[in-house]
Amino acid sequence: MVKTGESTDVEERPKWDNKIQYLLTCIGFAVGLGNVWRFPYLCQIYGGGAFLIPYLIALVFEGLPLLYMELAIGQRLRKGSVGVWNSISPYLGGVGISCMLVSFLVGVFYNTILAWVLWYFFHSFQEPLPWSQCPLNVNHTGYNEECVASTPVNYFWYRETLDITADIGISDSPRWWMVICLATAWSVVYICLIRGIDTIGKAVYVTSTLPYLVLTIFLIRALTLPGATDGLIYLFTPDVSSLVNPQVWLDAATQIFFSLSVAFGGLIAFSSYNPEKNDCERDAVAVGVINSATSLYASIPIFAILGFKARSNYNTCLNQYVNVLVLTNHFEISDQNITVENYDHWLGYLNASFPDEVSSLKNIRTCNLQTFLDQSASGTGLAFIVFTEAVIEMPGSQVWAILFFIMLFSLGLSSMFGTIEGIVTPLIDLKVVPKQIPNELVTGTSVVCLISFLMALVFTLGSGNYWVEIFSSYVGSVPLLIIAVFEIVGVSYIYGMKRFGEDILFMTGRRPNIFWRACWTFISPLLLKGVLIAYVIVQAQKYPSYPAWNPDYEFFPQTQMKPYPNWVFAIIVLLCVLPVISIPLVALYRLILCGLQRKSSNVRPNPYVNDGYTGETA
């Protein structure tokens, strides 16, 4: 790293127009789809409000220190990830390359999700919504059998959108409608990145703020829905007993880590466009707190709507199986006395008074509101199945569907900015592309976008959804944890805390306090290593499998769990190893190179050989 007080600007570097652009870009990169569909799911399955305890601990001792460190080294060195880690130590040059590879692989599959969002967005203008009812069969004599056997929502997702195969080994041809949506998604990314931070800085005014506007609209509407209170009580009622489960702490640590988007290289790239005299500590705290607050804020309308859906399903259960009518007739109770609203009270009273008679009733089905609230889903299952099903029941369903998918697209697009910038900035810093080529072709990432689009075509195949799940589960997990361990160890122990503290003093005017030093030196490295080891152990305990949508499965519409074939398992291992293999390879290369240089410098000229003597020449 440079000496404290020296300027690192060898040549003019682009800068943000203002501080707001920079903060919005970092917030947009950190706040992504996981804040909407992953965090609420973890709260749902891990004791509601109790999950916040390990989550906040992980934020303070793991997330914020690593976020602060990345913003600081990017701002001080004013380079992309490859240049930063080469400057810190030539032996750590592979860390920057790993950041680039992970960003590239994540961007390839992440933008496919945006293509799915566009597909739903385009169909949200139809009246009625196409996932609200089953289509007719080929002969127009009835409804489609696969749809009737499952639900219209499931059918639209698995058959109309993905046209999914029953096995990952059966690919079929690319689905042309998905190819068009994928090309559109990559075109939007290219347009927003066409002139680097100049266009990114303008785009984030919309993409980073629009989700909060939509979430607020959803919040106001969701709180007025029947059953919203049930969902919010479910969210905020803590189940402290869940904290004894080690998996809760592991998922909390990984969630905060991935949610902040550290170890991708994008945050280093964004901060490299800052002036050197900037309070990066305040920026890190602001981005980290806003990211976590957004997760909590998004959980409120999500759980309110899930509560509405649970209450609707509960009422449907009672009406469908005529429980109210059966109790009314059997016990000769006056009409209208037992209603859907007071059904639980009456059933409890009759069970206590006439338990044998109630148990003998054959037409009564157990309808439990808690059971419907416990039905959890995350990721695409929450966005494209659970939430779309809830939207159908809301008045003005088209409007809410349009707003929801606009919000998802904005969240994903902001995250793509940082992902692609984590690839492009190091390439520009390394001068891989000649300066003579126009900015629109280079900093607009046309080559990166084109290559990514071509690779992403595999996700438009009939088995494409299975491959998205593989990339999502394995590319953005172990490799990022490994990169983070090397990052924090590299700065704390190879570069040294004393020198790093001097750099922060130069940038912010004050030295890092004891909390940051303790986290960087001891707490965060131990936490990251522990999370990495625990994550690998948990994953190694079971052979990986995937849920297949198979209409011929005997328990259809349940998904059929299938183990991955050996050749797919080999690809999974490759996806975990390939992004980080550059770390030991670069270190080994530097070590060998250093050894050869030392050996050559120690060779002395032989005085008994003519070549070893140099005399004066006339």
Percent of the chain with pLDDT over 90: 60
pLDDT confidence bin for 189, thresholds 50/70/90: very high
DSSP labels for 570-612?
HHHHHHHHGGGTHHHHHHHHHHHHHHHHHHHHTPPPPTTSGGG
Average pLDDT, the chain: 87
Looking at the fold, whether 201 and 216 belong to one and the same domain comes out as yes
Looking at the fold, whether 45 and 87 belong to one and the same domain comes out as yes
The phi and psi torsions of 86 (rounded to 5 degrees) equal -65, -35
Task: For residue 35, say whether it is annotated as part of any ligand binding site.
Answer: yes
Q: In 486-565, where do the E strands start and end? A: 545-548, 560-563
Which pLDDT value is given to residue 617? Answer: 42
Which pLDDT value is given to residue 323? Answer: 67
Looking at the fold, whether 410 and 339 belong to one and the same domain comes out as no
**In this predicted model, what pLDDT tens digit does every residue of 404-430 receive, in sequence order?**
999 999 999 999 999 999 998 888 777
Helices 524-540 and 64-77, packing angle to 10 deg:
120
Cβ(531)–Cβ(253) below 8 Å: yes
Looking at the fold, whether 212 and 354 belong to one and the same domain comes out as no
Task: For residue 291, say whether it is annotated as part of any ligand binding site.
Answer: yes
pTM: 0.88
Which pLDDT value is given to residue 502? Answer: 95
For residue 286 the two structure tokens come to 């602001």
Looking at the fold, whether 205 and 338 belong to one and the same domain comes out as no
Query: Would residue 183 count as lying in a domain?
Result: yes
Distance CA 386, CA 375 (A): 10
Which pLDDT value is given to residue 615? Answer: 46
Widest CA span of the chain, in angstroms?
128
Query: Would residue 9 count as lying in a domain?
Result: no
Q: Which residue, chain included where needed, has tokens 């160890």?
A: 489
Which pLDDT value is given to residue 435? Answer: 61
For residue 368 the two structure tokens come to 């439990």
Distance CA 472, CA 41 (A): 16
The number of beta carbons lying within 10 Å of the beta carbon of residue 286 is 14
Q: Which residue, chain included where needed, has tokens 């919203």?
A: 228
Looking at the fold, whether 242 and 338 belong to one and the same domain comes out as no
The residue ranking higher by pLDDT, 316 or 169, is 169
Which pLDDT value is given to residue 37? Answer: 85
Which pLDDT value is given to residue 11? Answer: 57
- Residues with Cβ within 8 Å of 4's Cβ and at least 6 positions away in sequence, in order, are 499, 502, 503, 505, 506
Distance CA 174, CA 159 (A): 14
451-487: b or e for each residue (b if 16 or more CB lie within 10 Å)? ebbeebebbbbbbbbbbbbbbbbbbbbbbbbbbbbbb
**In this predicted model, what pLDDT tens digit does every residue of 2-11 receive, in sequence order?**
554 444 444 5
Query: Would residue 40 count as lying in a domain?
Result: yes
The residue ranking higher by pLDDT, 291 or 327, is 291
**In this predicted model, what pLDDT tens digit does every residue of 374-411 receive, in sequence order?**
776 667 888 898 889 889 988 899 999 999 999 999 99
- Angstrom CA distances, 312 to 5, 131, 193, 373, 449, stand at 64, 17, 44, 11, 43
pLDDT confidence bin for 348, thresholds 50/70/90: confident
Query: Would residue 235 count as lying in a domain?
Result: yes
Which pLDDT value is given to residue 404? Answer: 94
Cβ(491)–Cβ(500) below 8 Å: yes
Query: Would residue 264 count as lying in a domain?
Result: yes
For residue 494 the two structure tokens come to 């190879």
Residue 353 reports pLDDT greater than 90: no
CA 409 to centroid of chain Cα atoms:
13
Query: Would residue 608 count as lying in a domain?
Result: no
- Beta-ladder partners of 546: 562
Task: Tell me the Ramachandran region of residue 403: left when phi exceeds 0, alpha when psi lies from -120 to 50, beta otherwise.
Answer: alpha
Which pLDDT value is given to residue 618? Answer: 38
The residue ranking higher by pLDDT, 7 or 599, is 599
Residue at which a domain ends, from 308, 337, 364: 364
Which pLDDT value is given to residue 114? Answer: 96
Residue 251 reports pLDDT greater than 70: yes
Task: For residue 28, say whether it is annotated as part of any ligand binding site.
Answer: yes
Q: Which residue range(s) make up the domain with 459?
A: 19-321+365-602
Count of domains forming the chain: 2
Ranking 275-279, 328-332, 527-531, 608-612 by mean pLDDT, the lowest is: 608-612
Looking at the fold, whether 301 and 429 belong to one and the same domain comes out as yes
Query: Would residue 13 count as lying in a domain?
Result: no
**In this predicted model, what pLDDT tens digit does every residue of 451-470 receive, in sequence order?**
999 999 999 999 999 999 99
Looking at the fold, whether 241 and 258 belong to one and the same domain comes out as yes
Residue 437 reports pLDDT greater than 80: no
Task: For residue 399, say whether it is annotated as part of any ligand binding site.
Answer: no
Residue type, 355: P
**In this predicted model, what pLDDT tens digit does every residue of 607-618 receive, in sequence order?**
554 444 444 443
Looking at the fold, whether 288 and 214 belong to one and the same domain comes out as yes
pLDDT confidence bin for 551, thresholds 50/70/90: very high
Looking at the fold, whether 369 and 352 belong to one and the same domain comes out as no
Query: Would residue 14 count as lying in a domain?
Result: no
Residue 557 reports pLDDT greater than 60: yes
Looking at the fold, whether 254 and 282 belong to one and the same domain comes out as yes
For residue 91 the two structure tokens come to 């032996």
Looking at the fold, whether 331 and 427 belong to one and the same domain comes out as no
- Angstrom CA distances, 70 to 44, 55, 265, 289, 490, stand at 32, 21, 8, 16, 12
Which pLDDT value is given to residue 441? Answer: 54
Domain of 395, CATH number, reads 1.20.1740.10
Q: Under DSSP, is residue 548 helix (H, G, I), strand (E, B) or coil?
A: strand
